[in-house]
Amino acid sequence: MTQLPPLSAVKLGLVIDLDTCVGCHACVVSCKGWNTENYGAPLSDQDAYGANPSGTFLNRVHSYEVQPAEGHAQLVHFPKSCLHCEDAPCVTVCPTGASYKRVEDGIVLVNESDCIGCGLCAWACPYGAREMDVAEKVMKKCTLCVDRIYNDNLPEEDRVPACVRTCPAGARHFGDLGDPESDVSQLVAERGGFDLMPEQGTKPVNKYLPPRPRDRSEDVDILAPYLAPVTDQPKGFVGWLDKALSALPGGK
Amino acid sequence: MHPAPSVILFTTLSGLGFGLLFWLGLGMPGPTGVVAFVFFAIAYLLAVGGLLASTFHLGHPERALKAFSQWQTSWLSREAWASVAALVVMAVYGAGLVFLGTKWTALGLIGAVLSIGTVFTTSMIYAQLRTVPRWHHWTTPAVFLCLSLGGGALLAGQIRFALPLLALAGVAQAYTWITGDARLRSSGTTLASATGLQGGSIRAFEPPHTGTNYLLREFVYVVGRKHSRNLRVISLTLGFILPIVLLLLPFNHILAGVAVVSHLAGVLVARWLFFAEAEHVVGLYYGKRTT
Query: For chain A, which domains are there?
Result: 12-209 (3.30.70.20)
What are the pLDDT tens digits along chain B (291 aa)?
999 888 898 899 999 999 999 999 999 888 888 899 999 999 999 999 888 888 888 999 999 999 999 999 999 999 999 999 999 999 999 999 999 988 899 999 999 999 999 999 999 999 999 999 999 999 999 999 999 999 999 999 999 999 999 999 999 999 999 999 999 999 999 999 999 999 899 999 999 998 899 999 999 988 877 889 999 999 999 999 999 999 999 878 889 999 999 999 999 999 999 999 999 999 999 998 754
Q: B286: Cβ–Cβ under 8 A, 6 or more apart, which residues?
A: A62, B204, B207, B215, B216, B220
The domain that contains B42 carries what CATH number?
A: 1.20.1630.10
Cα distance between residue B89 and residue B38, in whole Å: 18
A132 touching chain B per CB within 8 A? yes
Residue range A149-201, pLDDT digits in tens: 999 999 999 999 999 999 999 999 999 999 999 999 999 999 999 999 999 99
- State whether B194 and A197 contact (CB < 8 Å): yes
Shortest CA gap A63–chain B (Å): 5
For residue B94, is it within any domain?
yes
Beta bridge partners of A62: A78
For residue B291, is it within any domain?
no
- State whether A2 and B74 contact (CB < 8 Å): yes
For residue B84, is it within any domain?
yes
- State whether A92 and B73 contact (CB < 8 Å): yes
Shortest CA gap B117–chain A (Å): 18
For residue B201, is it within any domain?
no
* Amino acid identity, position A57: F
Band of pLDDT at residue A231, cut at 50, 70 and 90: confident
For A222-231, letters b (16+ CB in 10 Å) and e give eeeeeeeeee
Tell me whether residue B104 is exposed, middle or buried, using C-beta atoms within 10 angstroms of its C-beta: 0 to 12, 13 to 18, 19 or more. middle
ipTM of the complex: 0.91
- State whether A60 and B69 contact (CB < 8 Å): no
* Angle between helix B139-156 and helix B253-276 axes, rounded to 10 deg: 160
CA distances from B252 to A114, A178, B102 (A): 52, 70, 29
Cα distance between residue B13 and residue B163, in whole Å: 20
**Number of domains chain B is built from:** 1
Domain region containing B156: 5-58+67-195+206-286
Radius of gyration of chain B (CA): 21
For B138-159, letters b (16+ CB in 10 Å) and e give ebbbbbbbbbbbbbbbbbbebe
Q: Are B234 and A76 in contact (CB under 8 A)?
A: no
